[in-house]
Structure 1
């Protein structure tokens, strides 16, 4: 293999390693372009054709990725994202409501709690859906109550 072909294979390898470190698929698409150029080199194509093929294949792969479900990542607000805030999805008991608001102890501190629109006030057990400053926005928990005797 001539040094030109080695350039494409090493470049593709470096891009794959960088891709593994970054967690996106875009560098992988560029690496696919590099592999296409490496095969063009093996087929005997000129250097300018190899570069053009690498660019066209990488661009096409990126466009296809953007149109796929992997290219459109759903962006949630940080106040509702359980990956950002570990309290999202946790449950708590709210014994009484006053105008859809309450004050409860959660994680050893007093918190303001607000009931999300359309949620019943009689559930007692609620799940945190959002944090607005120091206010927990909750919905009625859909999880069954844990049996205290089943340990």
Structure 2
């Protein structure tokens, strides 16, 4: 089998593996390996093919890392309903003392704090945030 065929088969295998992982990093390495295949088609020797494949793969990975697709979205877990199942749930507060209360929620006593701009009256509230063992409600 020719060198260029081996390079392109390896690149194709990495593209298939990338489809299972959902990241773009294997795709960047596959681009580097494909560059090694192009170098083999151009008639360069084995060390030059390998060096070109490694250089293009590393460069493509670094460029991906610096792009918006390589950055992970950072969010506050205390406010994210996808991370914390308590966000968006409702609870009843019988009475407030200086913007704070103690309520029974999910079988345990919780400290509850009123979010800024809220009105401290008895009633039903929605959990907006969780800070440690304190529920912030509005």
Q: What is the total number of aligned residue pairs between the two structures?
A: 135
Q: TM-score, normalised by structure 2?
A: 0.74
| Partner of residue 74, structure 1 | 73
- CA deviation profile, 1:21-65 (whole Å, cap 9, x unmatched): 333221211111111222222232222222122112112211211
CA positional deviation for 1:110: 4.7
2:97 match: secondary structure: coil
| Partner of residue 121, structure 1 | 119
Q: Which runs of 5+ in 2 are unaligned?
A: none
Between the aligned partners of 1:104 and 1:125, the Cα distance in structure 2 is 11
Closer, same or farther in 2 for the Cα pair 1:13/1:104, shift >3 Å? farther
Closer, same or farther in 2 for the Cα pair 1:107/1:62, shift >3 Å? same
Between the aligned partners of 1:19 and 1:119, the Cα distance in structure 2 is 48
CA positional deviation for 1:106: 4.1
Q: Which runs of 5+ in 1 are unaligned?
A: 141-151
| Partner of residue 26, structure 2 | 27
> RCO higher in 1 or 2 (8 Å CA, sep ≥ 6)?
2
RMSD: 2.8
Q: TM-score, normalised by structure 1?
A: 0.69
